[in-house]
A and B are shown apart, each in its own frame.
Chain A
Amino acid sequence: MVPASVSTLLPILAFVAEEGGEGGHEVAVQVGNGGALAQWAWLIVAVPLVVPFLIVFFGKKLPFKGWELAAGTMGFIGAYGTALLLANAASPIATEFTLEVGRIGSFAIEWGWVVDGLSIMMYFLVGVVGFFVFVYAKGYMEGDIRFTWFFAAFTLFAGGMLVLVSAPNLIQLIVGWEMVGLASYLLIGHYWEDYANVDAGNKAFMTNKVADAALFIGAIIMALSVGSFSFADMLAVVTAQDASSPLATFGFWAGLMLFIGAMGKSAQFPFHVWLPDAMAGPTPVSALMHAATMVTAGVYLLGRIFPFYLDPAGLFGGQVRVIIMIIGGITLLFMGLLAFVQNDIKKVLAYSTVSQLGYMVAAMGAGAYTAGLFHLFTHAFFKSLLFLGAGSVIHAVHSNDMSDMGGLRKRMPYTYATFVIGTLALIGLFPFAGFWSKDEIIASLYEVGIEGSGAGWFVFALAVAGSFVTAFYMGRAVFLTFFGEYKGHAQPHESPRVMTYPLIGLAGFAALAGLLNMPGIATPFTSWLAARRVPMGDVHAQSINWGLVGLVTAMLAVGVVLAYRIFFPDRVTQAERDRFEIPVLYPLLRHKYYIDDLYMDGIVRPTMGPLASAVLWVDMWVVDGIVNGAGVVARGLATAVRWFDNRGVDGIFNGAAAATGGSGSVLRLFFTGKVQQYAALSFAGVVLLAVLFIIF
């Protein structure tokens, strides 16, 4: 099976894996190097890094003001990603190419690109979802004050994301990681005239920067333990199960720190605070970056170094996994609950995204590699669909607030239909996409529980409850938006075709993408991802567990019915709804568990206010005070000496006064600004000293 044309840059790795991890799932993949298609895959990364500059410099002169360049780029990435996906499906590809750009100590700094199942999946996702979103954005951003700039920044994001997912080492990953952070900052603050948007951008940047500090430390520990930044070198240490490696000593801390970095980007509790605020950005940004791709970077990182975390022998990052699972579990349930009380439709979806990311992270923590990444895959389609649908509504009613909506079912039929498909996919109704991916996560958690992990049972319970939560808030959003009377002021009408076509396209994926991984029936997605350079097992359902399906479906049915009971406009009065504002719980949710307030009042304001002022005070009054004080003392001394001189002291003190008078005048000289003279004196002093030394 090994192709004859072995890449000269990196020998391909072909092997038959040994039995893998806890799920007892055997991996036996032979991988090829993908030929020219993989060798030229750097174009996927390079093109979107160059095009933003073209858009900035030439975009305004083009017929579509630069949009055509941006959308063309995404189309190219989508096409290339699809080609790679098909090639990988035909014959698994796992290879990487690197270019050394510097060396520090014994550490090579390299740029490169990885072509394997995981990165191909991401190339495909960024390109295809991105293409839909960019097409849609042409309609959505029509007439925007910074239309061209928007597409430049948006394309730059794609470039950063592709730098990230193509990274063969931690350094490049960090570069992509912060590039997408920068793009996020720019696009959240797209309407920077309003400080609220700027602040949202700053919040996103700063929250991520805190997590990034941990990511840096994790990367540092990892690199120093392995002796290289390269993922391949690191996974080689993991595969060798070398207990004497420094990685075995520092594995826990490296793993924990890297996970904290992932928590920032993937908005896991307690770093989730930035994502809902990030909705200040234009809706296409929310769809592509803050739902489909950028926020999944953390999950991607966990996937990229997964064997390190899976670590069945517990030598390296294995102990971190339970933390990962619990953080994911907490996030998926408690952040989902916050969506209950949001009136801004985008914020409902934002909390939903946080919650779904929690599912993915919990899956990674459970060791369910494929399930977590499959959810990443399906979620990208249906969540971007939902955001674009929400954008279509917002575009029509000129408000984000669901109390300005209602009754849009008939006025916006395409938006309505596709939004409902997205909703069904999200809540996980059979046979829509979310059913397959989320059910697999829940099944995996169940297996972890069965194997005797209390934490597994705990997170399993959270995940099942999460199904109810998801169904409830999505039911609420659909009923408030599309049913009942229209309550807004604008005259809503269906969006133009440039916006509805992408909705329809994404709806197709949202409905059908789940069929790519039906346990026990057909699992092409699993075999795509299995194209990787190190052997690895994972927790993996072998067949559909119909009991669990029943349980989860019942939970979501309860959620939808309850939402219907409370929010279906014709059934209830506001007074009745108010009864559901449960004391304690409701205020807690309204205030987002007070976590944002805690950060603002507990960390940000004290740092920027009292702490910074205190430091400046110390600087002015203590550190500089000593300096100024020395100056004052010296001047005083000089004055005193002059006073003595002028008085004409008697003979006994003549000599002493002359001596101090000399030094006093020097001091006086430079406090009267005659520094040149002093410099001359000091130079004379140097010469004098030199002469003295020569004599010795």
Chain B
Amino acid sequence: MEWFDNGWGIALTVFLPLVGAVVLLAIPRAQEAALKWTALIFSGAAFVSGLALLFRFDFSRTGDLQLGANLNWIEAINARYHVGVDGISLPLVVLSVFITVLVVLYSWNHWPEPHNPKMLLALIMVIAVGMTGTFVALDLVLFFVFFEVVLLPMYFMIGIWGDRGVRHVPLFNWNIEMRLYASLKFFVFTLFGSAFMLLGFLALYFRSGDFLDHRTFDMLELAQLGSAGRFAGSFAFWVFFALFLGFAVKVPMWPLHTWLPDAHTAAPTIGSVILAAILLKLGTYAFIRISIPILPQEAKNWAWLIGVLAVIGIIYGSLACLAQTDMKRLIAYSSVGHMGFVMLGIATLTSIGINAAIIGMVAHGLITGLLFFLAGSMAHRYHTRDMGRLGGNMKLMPVMGVLLGFAAMASLGLPALAGFWGEFMALMASFNPLAGLDPTLFRGLMIAGAIGTVLTAGYMLWMLRSVNFGEPSDEWVGHDFHDVDAWEWLAWAPLVIATIAVGIYPRIVLGFTNDAVAQLVTRAFGG
């Protein structure tokens, strides 16, 4: 298995879907079964390869980057194919390949219009490459490429298979199809952030030459310079700010979040699932992997602002949820709040907080993924997402209703389900943030965050009330609703099981992260 440990394992996990995409392109459009099986086989193989990484991973040193490779790539700029996984990235890698398989399974008999499975599956495969790749990349150029690879396929997915309802854009009196507006907004927003991020990367690259005998995009080398305090002053500030913009758009942090409700709502179900479950984590992961190790002093200087924005996101997102009438949009906005908890954890710059962030990311991926699946399947059956028209779903589709109840409870952070740990531990970290941060401010943030958990419960219960309970309206009399079907079970049951498993046995995630995060914090901020 030596070949596997020397980077091939990671390469397989990342690039198998790309091979899958190429094979898909070679299969004629009409042969749908072949297309589906191809997608399933390649995403499944990537998943198996991801699981194999777990077995080859040395859990006694989760803080070290393992199973990686470091090869020449673009020699002219010293960009290298440097990959590897540690306890921070591995759970996210596994989450990515896991969700990809589930998305392919779900799409088996849920094709958004216009049909074209060939194209859609190929896009999913390409997105999978970008997602997984981002989590294993240890070179900034490589990271950037993977980070951006996700962008175009997702743009097409929203723009082509998205919601065809017409959206009225207030203030300017535009009437534009939802899918066009949302895809454009998603694209421009992300690109806007990426441009700054790239500038930040380049600045680091050039600056690194001042301290080394070569310029480098290598994250580890840069992190060494960072923890040695090389990057300081206004240079560090501007770089941090540029990176912040790039990552914060992706998370998204308030007030850069407005692409999210549109994109998540307009995207086809599988698009929403991928967006919520994985894409948002690229931003938070980048904070942990890039911003904190390379620019620890700036992270410390601006932690208060990140914390404040995170908590504004929690409260603001939750309140916005309370005002929603569209079920899918409500779930979309809920991500703003949940990612706020993740960012709050990161902002404390403590071991507990960053652990909370990672387990929060995994939990949000599982739970919000499930919620979007459910919202998609229900919209598919009811042909509406308007909570004013829904109601009494427990009568029409009891199994779906129970699953929705489960997902809502998990999302509101019910203890012993996955979502609890991220929320609770982020609050815990806020009480004692990193030495040097203002504890009074962070304790205030803790209280505000705790209020956010109440509001979260409020809108989730409100959604259950509107959708699940009461008598079904006359509109649905005589309709034959088929409850959860086999492919849906295949896609959802793993999420349900994982949510419970992480909830009652958090070591599934914390076992990876705890030492790794402790090392990261120690390296960045000293003992």
Segment 172-231 of B: residues with Cβ below 8 Å from A: 172, 174, 180, 183-185, 187-189, 191, 195, 198, 202, 205-206
A659 at the interface (CB under 8 A from B): no
With beta carbons under 8 angstroms apart, the residue of A101, A611, A612, A623 that contacts B506 is A101
Given the known interface contacts A209-B453, A675-B184, the answer about A105 and B424 at a Cβ–Cβ threshold of 8 Å is no
Q: Does B146 contact A (CB under 8 A)?
A: no
Closest Cβ of chain A to B234, distance in Å, is 21
Nearest Cβ on chain B to A42's Cβ, whole angstroms: 14
User: Complex Cα distance A192/B319, Å?
Assistant: 25
Q: Does A189 contact B (CB under 8 A)?
A: yes
The answer to whether A102 and B320 touch (CB under 8 A), given A109-B506, A206-B461, is: no
- Give the interface segment out of A3-11, A214-222, A530-538: A214-222
Q: Is B388 an interface residue (CB 8 A)?
A: no
The reply to whether B469 and A205 form a contact with Cβ atoms under 8 Å apart is no
User: Is B184 a contact of A621 with CB atoms below 8 Å?
Assistant: no
Cβ contact within 8 Å between A102 and B461: no
Give the distance in Å from the alpha carbon of A71 to the alpha carbon of B429 in the complex. 43
Say yes or no: A192-B454 contact (C-beta < 8 A), given A101-B506, A612-B320, A615-B319: no
B96 contacts the other chain (CB 8 A): no
Which of A76-84, A172-180, A322-330 is the contact stretch? A172-180
A457 at the interface (CB under 8 A from B): no
Q: CB < 8 Å: which of B169, B323, B350, B409 contacts A612?
A: B323
**Cβ contact within 8 Å between B320 and A615:** yes
Residues 69-84 of chain B: 1 if any A CB is under 8 Å from the residue's CB, otherwise 0? Answer: 0000000110000000
> Per a CB cutoff under 8 Å, which of A189, A217, A676, A686 touches B198?
A686
Q: What separation, in Å, do the CA atoms of A217 and B254 have in the docked complex? A: 25
- Say whether A101 contacts B394, CB under 8 Å: no
Of A103, A221, A632, which is within 8 A of B431 by CB? A221
Which residue of B172, B257, B356 is within 8 Å of A104 (Cβ)?
Answer: B356
A220 to B352, CA, bound (A): 12
| A653, CB-defined interface residue at 8 Å | no
Interface residues of B in 374-409 (CB under 8 A from A): 392, 394-395, 409
Residues of the A chain whose Cβ atoms lie less than 8 Å from the Cβ of B470? 192-195, 198
Report whether B505 and A216 are in contact in the complex, using a CB–CB cutoff of 8 Å: no
Select A205's contact among B321, B432, B457, beta carbons within 8 Å: B457
Judge whether A198 and B454 touch: CB under 8 Å: no
- Residue from the list B189, B195, B415, B465 in contact with A179, Cβ < 8 A: B415
Chain B residues with CB under 8 A of A679: 151-152, 191
Is the beta-carbon distance between A101 and B319 smaller than 8 angstroms? no
**Which of the segments B49-57, B104-112, B126-134, B443-451 contacts the partner chain?**
B443-451
Query: Number of residue pairs across A and B with beta carbons under 8 Å?
Result: 185
Chain A residues with CB under 8 A of B352: 104-105, 107
**Digit string of A642-663 for contact with B (CB within 8 Å is 1, else 0)?**
0000000000000000000000
Cβ–Cβ < 8 Å partners of B450 in chain A = 213-214, 216-217
Q: Is the CB of A693 within 8 A of B319?
A: no
Does any Cβ of B come within 8 Å of A629's Cβ? yes
**Is B511 part of the binding interface, using a Cβ–Cβ cutoff of 8 Å?**
yes
Min C-beta distance of A162 to chain B, whole Å? 13
Query: What's the Cα separation between A607 and B518 when bound, in Å?
Result: 40
Indicate whether B416 reaches chain A with its CB closer than 8 angstroms: yes
CA distance A23 to B350 in the complex (A): 44
B206 and A693 within 8 A (CB): yes
**Pairwise interchain contact A217-B323, C-beta atoms closer than 8 A:** no
Name the B residues within 8 Å of A221 (CB-CB): 431
Within the complex, which residue of B316, B322, B324, B427 is in contact with A217, where a contact is CB–CB below 8 Å? B427
What separation, in Å, do the CA atoms of A175 and B414 have in the docked complex?
Answer: 8
Asked whether, in the complex, the Cβ of B323 is within 8 Å of the Cβ of A616, the reply is yes
Do residues A217 and B416 form an inter-chain contact, with CB atoms below 8 A? no
Q: Which residues of A contact B507 (CB under 8 A)?
A: 100-103, 109
- Select from chain A the residue with minimum beta-carbon distance to B457: A209
Query: In the bound complex, how far is the Cα of B338 from the Cα of A153, in angstroms?
Result: 28
* CB under 8 Å from chain A, chain B span 412-463: 414-416, 420-421, 424-425, 427-428, 431-432, 446-447, 450-451, 453-455, 457-458, 461-462
Measured between alpha carbons, how far is A625 from B457 in the docked complex, in Å? Answer: 29
Interface flag for B258 (CB, 8 Å): yes
Task: Indicate if the CB atoms of B170 and A620 lie closer than 8 Å.
Answer: yes
CB of B504 closer than 8 Å to a CB of A: yes
Nearest CB of chain B from residue A260's CB, rounded to whole Å: 11
Contact, CB under 8 Å: B514 / A105: yes
A193 close to B471 (CB less than 8 A):
yes
Q: Which residue of A lies closest to B353 (CB)?
A: A105
Q: Of B202, B427, B509, which is within 8 A of A216 by CB?
A: B427
Once A101-B505, A206-B461 are accepted as A-B contacts, the answer to whether A174 and B415 lie under 8 Å apart by CB is: yes
**A269 to nearest B CB, angstroms?**
19
Summarize A's interface: helix, strand, loop or mixed. Answer: helix
Is A206 touching B458 in the complex (CB atoms < 8 A)? yes
> What's the least CB distance linking B190 to chain A, in Å?
11
Is B355 interfacial (CB 8 A cutoff)? yes
Does A625 lie within 8 Å of B454, measured CB to CB? no
Is B351 in contact with chain A by the CB < 8 A criterion? yes
Given known contacts A670-B187, A673-B180, A178 and B415 CB-to-CB distance under 8 angstroms = yes
List the A residue with the shortest CB-CB distance to B355: A104
Instruction: Chain A residues near B395: list those with CB within 8 A.
Output: 193
Complex CA gap A671/B180 in Å reads 10
Q: How far is the CB of B363 from chain A (nearest CB, A)?
A: 13
Residue in A174, A627, A693 whose CB lies within 8 Å of B77: A693
Q: Is B510 close to A, CB under 8 A? A: yes
Does A597 sit at the interface, judged by CB under 8 A? no
Q: Specify the chain A residue showing the minimal Cβ separation from B76.
A: A694
| Residue among A175, A217, A670 making CB contact with B184, cutoff 8 Å | A670
* B171 CB within 8 Å of chain A: yes
Contact of B322 with A608 in the complex, beta carbons under 8 Å:
yes
Taking a contact as CB atoms under 8 Å apart, the answer to whether B316 and A615 are in contact is yes
Contacts of B458 in A (CB 8 A): 206, 209, 607-608
Cα(A220)–Cα(B255), bound, Å: 29
CB distance from A39 to the nearest CB of B (A): 21
- The answer on a CB contact under 8 Å between A217 and B446 is yes
Inter-chain contacts of B191 with A (CB < 8 A):
678-679, 682
- In the assembled complex, the Cα of A315 lies from the Cα of B169 at a distance in Å of 60
Query: By the criterion CB–CB under 8 Å, are B514 and A192 in contact?
Result: no
Contact with A along B254-267 (1 / 0, CB 8 A): 11011100000000
Determine how close the nearest CB of chain A comes to the CB of B155; give it in whole angstroms. Answer: 6
B468 at the interface (CB under 8 A from A): yes
Q: How far is the CA of A105 from the CA of B514 in the complex (A)?
A: 6
Identify the closest chain B residue to A220 (Cβ): B428
- When the two chains form their complex, are residues B506 and A177 in contact, meaning their CB atoms are under 8 A apart? no
Contact in complex: B468, A192 (CB < 8 Å): yes
- The reply to whether A616 and B415 contact each other, CB–CB distance below 8 Å, is no
Cα separation A192 to B401 with both chains bound (whole Å): 12
Contact status B428-A224, CB under 8 Å: yes
Q: B144-158: which residues lie under 8 A (CB-CB) from chain A?
A: 151-152, 155
Asked if A182 is an interface residue, CB under 8 A from chain B, the answer is: yes
How many Å lie between the Cα of A678 and that of B474 in the bound state? 49
Query: Which residues of chain B have C-beta atoms less than 8 A from A615's C-beta?
Result: 316, 319-320, 323
Say yes or no: A613-B469 contact (C-beta < 8 A), given A101-B504, A206-B461, A676-B152: no
Q: Compute how far the CA of A347 lies from the CA of B38 in the bound complex, rounded to whole angstroms.
A: 63
B152 touches A607 (CB 8 A): no
In the bound complex, what is the Cα–Cα distance between A673 and B77 (angstroms)?
Answer: 33
CB contacts under 8 Å to B, within A167-217, are 171, 174-175, 177-179, 182, 185, 189, 192-195, 198-199, 202, 205-206, 209-210, 212-214, 216-217
Asked if A18 CB lies within 8 Å of chain B CBs, one says: no
Can you report 22 A-B residue pairs in the complex whose CB atoms are below 8 A from each other? A104-B356, A105-B355, A171-B415, A179-B414, A179-B415, A193-B471, A195-B465, A202-B461, A206-B461, A216-B450, A217-B431, A224-B428, A611-B319, A619-B320, A623-B258, A625-B171, A629-B171, A631-B188, A675-B187, A682-B195, A689-B202, A696-B206
Closest 8 CB pairs of A and B: A612-B322, A102-B506, A612-B323, A213-B450, A102-B507, A615-B319, A616-B323, A192-B469
Q: A103-B507, A109-B510 are in contact. List 8 more A-B contacts (CB 8 A).
A: A102-B509, A195-B470, A209-B457, A209-B458, A213-B453, A608-B322, A673-B159, A693-B205
